[in-house]
Amino acid sequence: RGGRADRPIHVLNGPNLDRLGTREPAIYGTTTLAEIEAQCREEAGSRAIVFRQTNSEAQLIGWIHEAIDDARAIVINPAAFSFTSIAMLDALKMFDGPIVEVHISNIHRREPIYHRSLVSPIATAVIAGLGVHGYRAAIRALGAIAGAAAPAT
């Protein structure tokens, strides 16, 4: 993993997260994805962030492929793809840096269809149920995970 420390953290978001702020606010709150991006950038400080969202499984896989070559770490909220996308899982398995899976809601307190994420077994860490604060926690935690720490200042 040598040389990853100077690379950006890729924060990747799956389907329907572009609707945050208005989508089921009782579950997801009222914070928009743009506000989450700003919080991630603030938390990262001088560390570079690539922040993206897509409703397309193919696009998300393409971004994971980019991260394989370019990222120090991946923070991913795969949303519904968590439970359905073996193709996304296979792409993530090729990444040799830390992967933090984030879910705004606690997927284990929801309907049974949401209880088994395909990503969780290969993720370095999983954050679920902290609301949008989970993104900040993921960025902050990457400083303590091998291979993701920013160079000492």
Residues tagged active-site: 28, 103
C-alpha distance from residue 145 to each of 59, 73, 112, 131 (Å)? 27, 10, 31, 22
| Residue 12: CB atoms within 10 Å | 26
Whole-angstrom distance, CA of residue 73 vs CA of residue 143:
10
Whole-angstrom distance, CA of residue 27 vs CA of residue 129:
10
First-to-last C-alpha distance (Å) of the chain: 20
Three-state secondary structure call for residue 145: coil
Which single residue is written with the structure tokens 């949401």? 114
Residues sharing a CB contact under 8 Å with residue 84, sequence separation 6 or more, in sequence order: 118
